[in-house]
Amino acid sequence: MLHDLIIIGAGPAGASAAIYAASRGLAVLLLEQQAVGGLIGQVSTVTHYAAIETHETGASFATRLQAQLVAAGVQVCLEPVRQVSLAAPLKTVQTTANTYQARAVILANGSTANRLAIPGAATLDGHGMNLNAAREGQAYAGHNLYVVGGADGAIKEALYLAQFAHKLVVIHFEDQLSAIPQFTRPLLQLPNLELRLHTRLTAVEGETALSRLHLTDEHSGQSQWRDDPGAGVFVYTGSTPNTALYPELKLDKGYIPVNEKMETALPGVYAAGDIRVKQVRQVATAVADGAIAGINAAAFIQSGAPA
C-alpha cells in the first residue's frame, strides 16, 4: 500500500505533523500502537500548553486531537509498527497487520515510561505498581499512595493522587525535588503528605496486591521494610526513547539527531517530538516539531520524491 507520507506515533508531534501535511494535499497515514494522544493523553492534568481548557485532562486533550485529525482527513490506523526500512528512496513500514510504503516518513513515536527494575515490581505490575495515575489512581481510594519521582510530571500526578490517598508518600532519591514551584508549593501544603527525600524504593512484596515496601536512605545506606497492605505505587522516573526500531539511524544518547527542518541523516526521513535530540520535552515543542516536519516532508514529496 503506497502513501505519500507515513507518520509513526499519534502523540502531539505526530498528530501536528499529520494535520500540516494533510493540509498540503498529501495522503497521510498515521500509525499508532495504542491511542491518539500519546503520553499527554494519559496524564491527569494538562498544563502550560497555550489555549488549553481550564482543568484540561489528558483524555479531553486527546479527544479533541482525534477530532481534529478526522476533520483534517488523516487516515489513522491503530497498528503497532514492528519494523522499518528507511534508507531506500521508497520507505517500507511494517506493522503487526500490514506492510506500507511511502515517499517520506516522520518518526514521532516518543518514549516509553521507565518501570522500576527492583525485586517484586514485575510481579506486582498493575496490582500495586502503576504508571498511570489518571487511569488507576481512584482504585486505591482510602489507601496510602506512593509516588516515585521528583520532577514536574511526578509532582503534578502526586497532586492529583492526593485526593484519593489516606497518606501520600513522595519518594525521591535526591535531596530536593526538581519540580517547578507551581507544583511543589501546593504539594508541600498537603495535610496528608509524607516527603521522603534522598530515599529509594528498593523492593516491593506482595502476591495479588502490594503488602510491603523496602526503602533505602541514600545518605546512610540504611534500609527498612514498611508494611502497607493494599497501597499503590505510581512510578514517574523518566522515559526511554522508542528508537530501537531505527538501527539505520545514528543516535545521540538514544535520541534522533535532526536539523532545523526536522530532517534526519536519511533523505525523506524526519523526526519530531520527544524522540529527537532536544532540550525541552513538552507538548508545545512536540507540536512545533510536528508542524516543521509536516511542512518540510510535504515540500520534499512535492519537489519530486520517488513514486
Name the residues that contact ligand FAD, by CB under 6 A. Answer: 8-14, 31-34, 38-40, 43, 46-49, 80-81, 108-111, 153, 156-157, 236, 242, 245, 273-274, 281-284, 286
Which residue type, as a one-letter code, is found at position 201?
A: L
Closer CB to ligand FAD, 4 or 32, in the complex: 32
- Burial (Cβ within 10 Å: 0-12, 13-18, ≥19) of residue 259: exposed
Phi and psi torsions of 193, nearest 5°? -90, 135
Task: State in angstroms the smallest separation of the CB of 17 from ligand FAD.
Answer: 9
Task: State in angstroms the smallest separation of the CB of 137 from ligand FAD.
Answer: 12
Phi and psi torsions of 283, nearest 5°? -60, -45
Closer CB to ligand FAD, 109 or 184, in the complex: 109
Please name which of 188, 196, 143 lies closest in space to residue 166, comparing C-alpha atoms. Answer: 143
Closer CB to ligand FAD, 280 or 307, in the complex: 280
Task: State in angstroms the smallest separation of the CB of 287 from ligand FAD.
Answer: 8
Task: State in angstroms the smallest separation of the CB of 19 from ligand FAD.
Answer: 13
- Burial (Cβ within 10 Å: 0-12, 13-18, ≥19) of residue 246: buried
Closer CB to ligand FAD, 12 or 206, in the complex: 12
Express the helix, strand and coil content of the chain in percent, nearest 5 each: 25, 25, 45
Task: State in angstroms the smallest separation of the CB of 110 from ligand FAD.
Answer: 2
The C-alpha atoms of residue 92 and residue 70 are separated, in whole angstroms, by 24
Closer CB to ligand FAD, 108 or 145, in the complex: 108
What angle, rounded to 10 degrees, do the helices at 12-23 and 58-72 form? 20
Task: State in angstroms the smallest separation of the CB of 284 from ligand FAD.
Answer: 6
CB 143 within 8 A of CB 231: yes
Closer CB to ligand FAD, 11 or 120, in the complex: 11
